[in-house]
Structures are given as C-alpha cells and as structure tokens.
Chains A and B, each alone.
Chain A
Amino acid sequence: MLYEVFLQPEKFDKNEWFILIAGILMMILFLFTDRRISVLEIVVIWVINWFMAEAADFSIAIPPFDFYDFNDSPKYEYFDFFLFVVLYPCTAYLFIHYYDKWNLRGKLLIIYVFIYSLLTLGLEALASVFNVFTYKGWHLIFSFPVYLVVYIINIVIFKFERKHIHKLNTELKKV
C-alpha cells in the first residue's frame, strides 16, 4: 500500500524527460542569478507558488471538474511533485528577481507582467506538446489570465513581505 502513496510514472517517456530537463535548466538559471533576494524571500516565493499551483491543479484537474490531466495518470505521481516544487516556483522566482532588479514601475511593469505571462504560456504550450498537460475541457489561452493574476499576486506578496520585513528590521534597530 505504501508504494501507492506516490505513484511511479506509468512509462518514463517524453513528459518525464521534459520535466526533468526543464527543471534542471530552471535550477541552473536560479543558481546563476545574482543574490539580491534574501533567503526568507526565496522561501516565501517558493511556498506561495507551490501553494497556488497545487491549489489550481488539484482542484480543477481532478474530478468532478477534470479540465485537464497532467502527466501519465490523474493520480499523484513523483513527477507531479517535481513539477510543483521545482518548475512553478523557479519560474515565479525569476519573475520576481528581474522585477526587483530592474525596479519596474507603471507602464513598464504592465508590459513586463504581460510579456512574462506570454513566456509562461509558451512554456505551457511546450509542456503540452510533451504530454505534460492533456487538455480535456481546458484551452491553452485560458491559462493566460491565470498567469497574469498569479504574477500580480506574486508582486503584491513580495511588496507585502518587504514592507513587513523592513518594519521589523527598523523596530529591531531601535531596541
């Protein structure tokens, strides 16, 4: 029974290779970005994006909604876990990293969110070519507004966290 807790892929084929290679590439990108984001901020970005991905995928991709399948079976597999823990948070981390680095505001920020959402949509399209996603009632274009919302939430949370951490640091300096 324990081996059913996390299932092995039915067949180790192109979707697993895609997740593995994309995951490694994303981790390399993550490791080679300059360290302007603190450990605390990285943990927050990671947890929030893991939460959002899992909340969406394990709500609308399973019965009774069942809009799409990811990977080999509708059940929870090792590679689903890898997808949630590595791919989604890494993509969001890179988004926040460049948002902070380029100090984007106003129109530039809107353009940045729009372009990054399009890039993520491209990544999703590529993933669906490799059978990571199999759409049943969903369409690729539906994901675009979802990515816009996800990246706006990421900015809001990043600002919220920075504000609170800054406040905490100021209070600690006074003590």
Chain B
Amino acid sequence: MSGILAYGAYIPRLRLARKTIVSETSWFTGSAAKATGERSMCNWDEDTVTMAVEAARDCLTGFNRGEVGGVHLASTTFPFADRLNAAIVAQALTLRPEISALDLASSQRAATSALMASLLSAGESGGATLVIGSDKRRTRSAGALELSYGDGAAAFLTGEGPVIAQLIGHASNTVDFVDHYRGQGATYDYQWEERWSRDEGYMKLVSPFIMRACEAAATDPQSITHFCMPAPAQRLAAAIARSAGIPKEAVRDNLQGECGDTGVAHPLLLLADALAVARPGERILLVGYGQGCDVLLFEVTEQIRSLTSRLGVRGHLAVRREQKSYHKFLAFNDVTEIERGLRSELDKQTALSALYRKRAMLTGLVGGRCTECGTAQFPKSNVCVNPECNSFHTQDDQPFADAPGGVLYHTADRLTYSPDPPSCFGMVQFEQGGRMLADFTDVDEADVHVGMAVRMVFRVSAYDSLRRFTRYFWKAAPANAAEGR
C-alpha cells in the first residue's frame, strides 16, 4: 500500500503578537480593528531552507534516512533561484546522493501539487519521497499581509509500507486567477481586493473540485472528519465547507491565531496538525489553493497508532518565545535598514570549491570516528585527535547533527558583529565524544550555562550581501526548548 508514511512540522520559536504590530503601525493605517493572536517569525538565521531541514528532521523521526529516495521542496521564497534548494536540504539531512530532487515554486499550492505527484507516483521512485513545504514571505511594514502571514514548514514522507494515511481521491483544476502575485525580482506580494478574491476565487474554484474528489472516492462529503482549508479567514473555510457539504465541525483551525498563514507550507501544516489527532478510519480533506486548487482526500489507517511520537505542529507551537520588539522583526526581515557598523563589512565570500570539498562537514555536520581508538571528533581529520592514539588516516564518518551535547564553556560577545547581539557561542561537548566551538541560537543570554543541554540545528551562518550567497552551518540550540519546555 502506498500513501503517507510520516509527517513533521516546524514553526520558528519567535512569535510576534499582532497587537505589537498594530500598536506600531496604526498611526499610518488608522486601523482600530482588534488584532488578536500572533504570527510566527524566523530568527535572523532562519530561512526557507533551514525551516525545511527542521520539518524534515521532525518527519523522519524513527525512520531510516537511507530509505529516502527523493526530496521535493516547495516554496515561493527559495534563497537560491539557481541552485537546487532541495539539494541543500538533502545534504544537510545526509541523505544518500543516489536520490532525485525537485524544487517546486510559483504558487501557494506548490506543496500540495508536490504531495499529490509523489503519492500518485509512489512505487515508481526508488524509495520514499520527502515532500516539504516551507515559506518565509516578506511583507512591507504596516500592510495587511504583515499581520496575516507567518513563517513555517511542514514535511511528509510518502511511499510504500506502513502508511498512516492513504490517498483515496483527488482532483485538481488550473485557472489563471490572480488575487496576488510577486513578480520576478520583487520582494513583496501585490494583492487585489479581498472581497473579490473571496467571492470569485475561493468560493467558486474550490467547492466543485472537493465534490469531484469525493465522487472519485465514492465518499460522501458528510463523512469527512478533518477539513484542512488554508484560507486566512476562518469563516471562509466554513463557507466552503458548507457549500461542499462538509460538516462544519470538520473545519480545522487555520492556525491564524497561533502562527499565521505560512504560505506554501500552510496546507501541509494543517494536514500535519490533523494527522496528529486523527484516528484510524477518519477522512481528511486537504485543499491547496492558488491559480485553481488541488484537492486530496485521505483515509487514516491503523498504522497511525504506531507512528513514533514527534513534535509536529503543536509541539513546535509550544516552543515559543514572544518577540516584543516590532523593530527587530523589521530588521530581521530587512524591511528597515540597520546601521550594522564597520565590523559587519568583513568580506563573506564563500569559496565554492572548498564548500564542495567539505560538504559533508559543513552542510551535513559529519565528523570522524577513529577506527583505532574509537574517539569521535569534529571535524574529521587526517590525524586522530586523541593524544594517546594520533593514528593517521583511520577515521570513518561520524554524524554529529543528531548527537546530544552540553555546553562546556561559553560567552556572550558584544564586540563582534552579530545581527542579533550579543553573539552567544561556546564549546559543545557531545555525549558520543567530540567537541566543537559553536554559535548558539534560539537562546536568551541569561539562560546559557555550563552543562546546558543542546541540540544542533541547521542555520544561516552568514549572508554575503555582495554576492547574494547564503552560507549555512550548524549551531547549538537549547535542547529543552525542542522538548516543549
């Protein structure tokens, strides 16, 4: 049987309350509307690729990564226009090189189209396919999109085996309906009137295809228990459900209050959220919307009970830190120009030949383990670091990305340049052996202490603005946060 084998999600730890945005922008918008809930926002070192890696790690919990045969990464905010972003994710996950990879873009339904394609071709590809949706859409200050958008990612493993959900029906339509767009080279979305978008778009383009997917599966829409409709307005999802004959209790929360609309990731995020509570036999209807729609109807299987536990949407929502400074949000997203100082001017050119040579180390955080004495070490080197051994050319690959570690010593550096000073870093001692000097991220300076448990995360290490090159590496984040502290 083919279908969904696992799901995973990632929502950045930082959340910006909408009332914080409104209190700083109402002088211009004149809006007195009540602003409720919060939106997720990337830390300065997070982007579409780093979020995709985290969602994929969550998804692959308990799975052998060697079984992954393909990576489909969907987004409208890829850091690279010509460099396979899915390949960065694959390298970071240390997937084997003998896999296929695709970047899918240009529409809010890119991820559902990717998911559908992978489900329909399951069995034809060599192994399971990792389908990831991730988006970090930038918005102008004081606009409506700034309030409704959020950053996030979700990942699914599809293929044959113990599937937790099976695709039992699907339908798609494609219409050049443009309620918003982002032209080539543009930073921000351009949006048309919401009322038109609702009445002519959502209300007319979705319902008929929900019914078509249900007919294909000989399913009564009334039997749907989870309706995942990524519309920014919750009542819009309810209206679509009503017109399609789906019970109103089935309409799932669109997470607008918790993280906002995460763009391409959002339908997958809603599906991951539904699967976390779904019971065997239940039916989930997922819609991806943009220039038409994709409709996917799933039936949950008994296997859902034996899926290894994972953080998923709610687990990540629980790892939360309120970002109280609206200005910091603007700075992190380059909406406002910060005086970064002369120290920030250091040339950050990346030698592509060296990056390739060291790809396992730099992108995959793969170190070495000495076959003579067993010492784990990072980086992998020609001569074993153990002074009692010092053997030459004896090291096998030793992954460090998922190795638990603790802080051996640390500081908070206020002199060095950081986009979010002070720069916190220190020595990480891994439980498996080996240590490395690492940047810390997602930490509050006061919480760092010797012995603090850390988990390594894939992040932006530097952005070369001269050459528009994003450089990635791994950083240490508090492990307790990931456990939903």
Partners in one complex: no
* B residues whose Cβ falls under 8 Å from a Cβ of A: none
Chain A residues packing against B (C-beta within 8 Å): none
